[in-house]
Structure 1
Amino acid sequence: MRIFSLLAIPFLLCTPAQAWGPVGHRITGAIADENLSGVARAHVRLLLGAEDLAEAATWPDDMKSDPAEYWQKKAGPWHYVTVRQGDSYQSKDAPPEGDAMSALDGFTATLRNPKSSIEDKRLALRFIVHIIGDLHQPLHAGGGDDRGGNDVKVNWFGRATNLHSVWDSAMIEQRALSYSEYAHWLSRLISPEQVIDWSDPAPSVWVGESIALRKTIYPADASISWDYAYKHRSEMDDRLKRGGIRIAVYLNWVFDPGTGTVPAKQTK
């Protein structure tokens, strides 16, 4: 029996915020796996072997504990974007190391470059799967004034935490489902019309959606529980579903040899 939902909350709230938590990222990866084209699936298998996209989706977060400078200094900002003004992303708001949008561009170029090594392509693929998931978490398109909700202190069912962690993991873990169960539930609810509607590989579209949602999820009261979860659960599920479909759509585009167009670039 899985009755750990509320009991586990004190432990998961102590973990660092990292976009979707492991379960959320695996959900998007599992949904993506079901929607890959034959060509994309073959390329993924060549690079990852038996590792599926659900496993690959958490790898960049797993590597945050690596003491190497690449992980401790360079790669940190690649999990989010900052939108200081307006409703659309502008690259001028990115730190010197770049951000999720610039990293996505760079890793895409690596995957599409026939001269890239297998090791570099494997790293790029894992990051792409992860970054696309990140860009669908609304607080990873932050306004630059509260560290994506990390500075917004809340009490989730009486436990002190922050808004970012609630969206990363707490609302997902509250369901007491494994990632595969959750992904299966969500996949059954994705209609063919939605797959068609969401099949836009332009990252600016995904970020615009996250910005719009982010503006609606800050609670008026710091004490949040069932009412907040009920109000926003369907929105969270929607972002997970879209994230999974967009990962597949993007990889299908990357690995399709007949596709020469590039998704719309970020605003300069």
Structure 2
Amino acid sequence: MRLLSVLTVCVAMAGPAYGWGPIGHRTTGAIAENHLNEKAQAAIRDLLGPETLAEAATWPDDMRSNPDPFWQKTASSWHYVTVPHGKSYEAVGAPDRGDAITALEQFSRTVTDESAPLADRQLALRFIVHIIGDLHQPLHVGNGTDRGGNDVKLKWFGKDSNLHSVWDSGLIDFEKLSYSELSAWLDSKITPEQVAQWSNTDPDIWMAESAALRDQIYPESGDLSWTYRYENVPHVKTRLSMGGIRIASYLNALFQ
């Protein structure tokens, strides 16, 4: 496909693992679906048919099991960015292999290019939904020292884990909610004032928020359970809610 050849680069090192787990990503997609304008709804329907944004949101992670080199190497760096403590993304920039921001920019051009093959535009749309969700997970704006918390080994309610995994899925899965339950609960509490405040399309803002939160969530102890959950579940819920609103606002702007 033309898009794949444009974006193909070599990945020299492994980055963070999956972003939000399936429930987290589907939650952001489901919230976004409720805040799309009519033009965005029509454009997305033309591209994906009956496929919902909740379904599209997990597709880039689902495809990471594909043994093709495109998924195993090229696309692996599109799920995160690196912003060291005290730095901004603008000051650091993207590595040669690309990152979530360079991919988001390319996919944004492709999804609105009516001359591009349908498969390329579908891939682009699914990645846009996924990447925006990833950028709201604080450890997907990594500090460059520990692979987005993957190297921070710890115990989560007595089981071996790492900080990245706790934030991807541990905190969310512990709630024992389906994505439809979680998205409904969260979306019902988003006020019109919050929608107005959060509806921006600037990834620099999203990354700065995630980096600021990231620097607060490293635990003092390696044995995490109830206290860590109590302190951080509210942050998770806020970032999922904001991610859903930002996906919608970004797509509304793209398809305007």
CA contact (8 A) 2:110 2:120 kept: yes
The aligned counterpart of 1:261 is none
CA distance in 2, matches of 1:84, 1:194: 29
CA contact (8 A) 1:83 1:90 kept: no
Q: Secondary structure at the match of 1:23?
A: helix
- Count how many residue pairs are aligned between Structure 1 and Structure 2: 241
Q: In the alignment, does 2:214 pair up with 1:214?
A: yes
Question: TM-score if structure 2 supplies the norm length?
Answer: 0.92
Q: In the alignment, does 2:229 pair up with 1:229?
A: yes
Q: Secondary structure at the match of 1:57?
A: helix
CA distance in 2, matches of 1:143, 1:58: 24
Q: In the alignment, does 2:182 pair up with 1:143?
A: no
CA contact (8 A) 1:32 1:247 kept: yes
CA contact (8 A) 2:80 2:141 kept: yes
Which deviations, in whole Å up to 9, do the C-alpha atoms of 1:71-100 show, x marking residues without a partner? Answer: 111100000000125242137553322000
Amino acid paired to 2:155: N
The aligned counterpart of 2:245 is 245
CA contact (8 A) 1:40 1:255 kept: yes
The aligned counterpart of 1:51 is 51
CA contact (8 A) 1:198 1:246 kept: yes
Question: TM-score if structure 1 supplies the norm length?
Answer: 0.88
The aligned counterpart of 2:38 is 38
- Aligned residue runs from structure 1 range 155-174, under 5 A: 155-174=155-174
**Percent same amino acid at aligned positions?**
57
Which deviations, in whole Å up to 9, do the C-alpha atoms of 1:99-158 show, x marking residues without a partner? Answer: 000000000010122321211110000000000000000000011000000000111111
Amino acid paired to 1:232: N
List alignment gaps of at least 5 residues for structure 1.
1-15, 257-268
Amino acid paired to 1:99: D
Which deviations, in whole Å up to 9, do the C-alpha atoms of 1:159-209 show, x marking residues without a partner? Answer: 110000000001100110100000000001100000000011011010000
CA distance in 2, matches of 1:25, 1:46: 22
Q: Please report the RMSD computed on the Cα atoms of aligned residues, expressed in angstroms.
A: 1.2
CA contact (8 A) 1:138 1:211 kept: yes
CA contact (8 A) 1:75 1:97 kept: no
CA distance in 2, matches of 1:45, 1:159: 42
- Aligned residue runs from structure 1 range 54-65, under 5 A: 54-65=54-65
CA contact (8 A) 1:201 1:246 kept: yes
Amino acid paired to 1:229: R
CA distance in 1, matches of 2:92, 2:211: 17
The aligned counterpart of 1:73 is 73
CA distance in 2, matches of 1:171, 1:80: 20
Amino acid paired to 1:181: E
Amino acid paired to 2:61: D
CA distance in 2, matches of 1:173, 1:80: 21
List alignment gaps of at least 5 residues for structure 2.
1-15
- Note the C-alpha offset of 1:59: 0.2
The aligned counterpart of 2:179 is 179
CA distance in 2, matches of 1:147, 1:239: 20
CA distance in 2, matches of 1:239, 1:172: 12
CA distance in 1, matches of 2:105, 2:38: 23
Amino acid paired to 2:242: R
CA distance in 2, matches of 1:242, 1:84: 23
